[in-house]
Amino acid sequence: MALEVCVKAAVGAPDVLGDCPFSQRVLLTLEEKNQPYKIHLINLSDKPQWFLDINPQGKVPVLKIDDKWVPDSDIIVTILDDKYPDPSLKTPPQFASVGSNIFSTFVSFVKSKNSNDGTEKALLVELQALEDHLKSHDGPFIAGGRVTAVDLSLAPKLHYLEVALGHFKNWSVPGNLPHVNGYMKALFSLDSFEKTKTDEKYVIAGWAPKVNP
């Protein structure tokens, strides 16, 4: 039975894929594993009743597998890797938390209205830690030459960081972080990423209400 997945629809465009890093992470996993799937775009500001019936928490992503609807990208990715082990996307445990604070520090910075509140610095600290990791290990990905789960979790987050900080703050990842810049290029040129990415204008539409509530 084909897999089905509920993901976020774009803000202001319910027929287009929206910006949700957890949704794209699941789509990336399905693509990397060459599993066909059917997408249901969920308008999060007007959730259909059938969606709330299968997932009362009302969050995306939700995957239908073996006739059961399963929420939460962490759980979904684990199930997919167990059920479809080839190719394995398991990240070696020592690399699993690389980059894990980048998204939260990006969110604080993009929402910040005070340029001296330390949020930019906090993001730069996390990006420097990623730079140090990439510089001292074989790449281009976090665990080496092969994409693994940690990369698929970071890819959408780094994309939103690039688009939203460029748009709202005229900010980009500094040139003195060449490994981070190269890593982002490698992620964004994956076929799986090309197929599942959200258009820049919908990334901006998704972040606008958070930046200017």
Active site residues: 20
Based on CB atoms, which residue is closest to ligand GSH, 153 or 180? 153
198 binds ligand GSH (CB under 6 A): no
163-192 positions binding ligand GSH, by CB under 6 A: none
Cα–Cα distance, 136 to 122 (Å, whole number): 22
Q: How far is CA 190 from CA 63, 151, 196, 197, in A?
A: 23, 11, 10, 10
**In this chain, which of 5, 6, 8, 119 binds ligand GSH, going by CB under 6 A?**
8
Q: Structure tokens of 43?
A: 């308008």
Do residues 8 and 60 lie in contact, with contact meaning Cβ atoms separated by under 8 Å? yes
CB 153 → ligand GSH: shortest distance, Å? 9
> For the purposes of burial, counting CB atoms within 10 Å of the CB of 90, is it exposed (0-12), middle (13-18) or buried (19 or more)?
middle
72 binds ligand GSH (CB under 6 A): yes
Cα–Cα distance, 192 to 178 (Å, whole number): 23
Based on CB atoms, which residue is closest to ligand GSH, 57 or 212? 57
**Beta-strand (E) ranges in the chain?**
3-10, 13-17, 37-42, 62-65, 68-71
159 binds ligand GSH (CB under 6 A): no
Interface with ligand GSH by CB under 6 A: which range of 31-39, 72-80, 89-97, 176-184?
72-80
CB 60 → ligand GSH: shortest distance, Å? 4
Residues of this chain that bind ligand GSH (CB under 6 A): 8, 20, 22, 44, 58-61, 72-74
